[in-house]
Structure 1
Amino acid sequence: MKLIADSGSTKTSWKLIDGSGHIKNIKTSGLNPYSQPEESIIQEVEKVLFPETGTGIQEIYFYGAGIVNAEKGDIIRRALNRIYPEAIVETHSDVLGAARALFGDQAGIACILGTGSNACLYDGKQIAHGISPLGFILGDEGSGSVMGRKLLGDYFKDVMPSRLRDEFGKQFGITREEALNRVYRTEKPNQFLAQFVPFLSENSNSAYCQEFVQHNFMEFFERNVSKLPDYTQYPIGFIGSVAFYFSQILNNTASYFGFEETTIIKEPIDGLEKYYSIK
């Protein structure tokens, strides 16, 4: 039996494929070796995943946020081998997972626009060139965490139009003190900030919201996509909830930068299933 996983900041999507080709979908919390100790990952796998799979797993292909190098990948590999000692485990970055889900064995520019953001040039096998995302403070342009950060700033600094500001206040009821505490003194501030992004979608008829999202997507292209070599010579694709829910604005922005067509997928797990079904 084979396990395929795509892990983001908040959740992990798994595909269990048995010898007859039957597929079972499983969800666990996000498994991030950059922010979680190995024992915490083991506990989540043992408690939530193993009861759904049982024994007999022979191959595991894990793609995840936080796998920025071999050392972080080894944390995931050791944790999975503790529960599935007979399995061959491969660990890869979420960016490579996005690229393989979008393009299979073909070259292209693969982008992630979710809680975080990323862009890379994929040669059909591996990442040929990448731009460091740098996280929501220094980078992550166009992501949910950065748009949430800017949206919250516009709210407290009275930049947001008054009607929307009233709606935002009613919907979230957040004080300046609470926002400062959640961002600067608690864990996972990126997830806290990203929760405000649906407000932009809910008010998408507003000129402010449309311009806000477009400006953030322009920054993503300018500071990431356009820095890739010969970027206009490749097809481009996007994965993530931000890309999915703001697809029209994203398509318009891609067109501005010279891309005739874009591929947008909310989650990569189905594409990864297809990728491994022909291996």
Structure 2
Amino acid sequence: MILIADSGASKTDWRVIAKNGQIGQFRGIGFNPNYQTSEEMANDLRQDFLLDLRDEVETIYYYGAGCSSPKNRKHVESALRSIFKHAEINVDHDMMAAARATCSDQPGIACILGTGSNSCDYDGEFIIANRPAPGYILGDEGGGAYIGRQFLQDFIHDEMPGKLKEKVIDHFQLDYQTILENVYQRPFPGRYMASFCRFISENKADPYCYMLYYNSFQDFFKKYVAKYEGYKDKPVSFVGSVAYYNSEILRSAAFDAGIKVNIIIEGPIAGLTLFHQKML
């Protein structure tokens, strides 16, 4: 039996593939070794559906946020080993999940556009190039935090259309002090800024909202995708809610940048399941 996990800070999608090909699915809490110890993750892993599988699982493929460094991968492996004592455990980062889910065993460029952003050049087996992803303060072009930050800046400086600003105030009860408090005093400011993307998407018929996405996607292409060798000749795929729910704008921006879009999916777990089914 194979167990697959796609984990972020807030949730984990699990898939179980039995030897007869039958697939089971679960959703549990998320993990991030940047913020949790092995012991804390091990305690959180003691969820009933995982405990019920501990003697049947032979191989685990865990893909997670914060798993790019060997140290963090060891922390996650140690936590999983506390439950699955005899399984073969493979821990990798979310960029590899995006590559395998969208490209399978074919070469291509894989991108993540969710709260944050990331990308890689994939040869069908390995990630051969990866641009830096410095987070919501220094980067995240194309991601929700970046788009939300621009939206809030324009709100503060009266640089969005007046009618839209009135709508924002009415919808969110938003003001300058509320923004400062959430960005500078409360935890997870990146999530807060990205939370405005739903409103922006719902109003993307407004030229201002449309161009927020369009320009952010163009910034992402210039900073990341265009720096991969031969990027115009490679299929480029996307994972993440920002890409998925604004796919028509993303495709338009990509076309204008000379980029060939392959597939756009909300999350990688279905593609990962297909990828690992071949291993049975």
TM-score, length of structure 2 as denominator length:
0.95
Q: Residue 170 of structure 1 aligns to a residue in which SS?
A: helix
1:177 is matched with which residue? 177
Distance (whole Å) between structure 2 residues aligned to residue 133 and residue 52 of structure 1:
37
Establish whether residue 159 from structure 1 lines up as the match of residue 187 from structure 2: no
CA deviation vs aligned residue, 1:117-149 (integer Å, no higher than 9, x gap): 011100111110000110011011010111112
Distance (whole Å) between structure 2 residues aligned to residue 43 and residue 191 of structure 1:
25
2:122 is matched with which residue? 122
Distance (whole Å) between structure 2 residues aligned to residue 160 and residue 52 of structure 1:
53
CA deviation vs aligned residue, 1:175-201 (integer Å, no higher than 9, x gap): 333322222233222112211101111
Distance (whole Å) between structure 1 residues aligned to residue 105 and residue 211 of structure 2:
36
Q: Residue 46 of structure 1 aligns to a residue in which SS?
A: coil
Distance (whole Å) between structure 1 residues aligned to residue 188 and residue 239 of structure 2:
21
For the aligned residue pairs, the C-alpha RMSD in angstroms reads 1.5
Distance (whole Å) between structure 2 residues aligned to residue 37 and residue 187 of structure 1:
19
Establish whether residue 70 from structure 1 lines up as the match of residue 66 from structure 2: no
Distance (whole Å) between structure 2 residues aligned to residue 253 and residue 48 of structure 1:
45
Distance (whole Å) between structure 2 residues aligned to residue 232 and residue 9 of structure 1:
33
CA deviation vs aligned residue, 1:71-95 (integer Å, no higher than 9, x gap): 1111111111111111111111111
Distance (whole Å) between structure 2 residues aligned to residue 39 and residue 158 of structure 1:
48
TM-score, length of structure 1 as denominator length:
0.95
Following TM superposition, by how much is the alpha carbon of 1:116 offset from its aligned partner in structure 2, in angstroms? Answer: 0.9
Establish whether residue 101 from structure 1 lines up as the match of residue 108 from structure 2: no
2:111 is matched with which residue? 111
- Which segments of 5 or more consecutive residues in structure 2 lack a partner in the other structure? none
Q: Residue 106 of structure 2 aligns to a residue in which SS?
A: coil
Q: Residue 159 of structure 2 aligns to a residue in which SS?
A: coil
CA contact (8 A) 1:28 1:44 kept: no
Q: Pairwise mapping of residues 191-210 of structure 1 onto structure 2 (< 5 A)?
A: 191-210=191-210
2:242 is matched with which residue? 242
Following TM superposition, by how much is the alpha carbon of 1:23 offset from its aligned partner in structure 2, in angstroms? Answer: 1.3
CA contact (8 A) 1:113 1:241 kept: yes
Paired residue total:
279
Q: Residue 46 of structure 2 aligns to a residue in which SS?
A: helix
Q: Pairwise mapping of residues 131-142 of structure 1 onto structure 2 (< 5 A)?
A: 131-142=131-142
Q: Per the alignment, do residues 142 and 224 of structure 1 end up closer, same or farther by CA in structure 2, a change over 3 Å counting?
A: same
Distance (whole Å) between structure 2 residues aligned to residue 167 and residue 241 of structure 1:
23
- Which segments of 5 or more consecutive residues in structure 1 lack a partner in the other structure? none
Q: Residue 82 of structure 2 aligns to a residue in which SS?
A: helix
Following TM superposition, by how much is the alpha carbon of 1:46 offset from its aligned partner in structure 2, in angstroms? Answer: 0.8
> Percent identity over the alignment?
37
Instruction: Supply the AA of the counterpart residue of 2:222.
Output: E
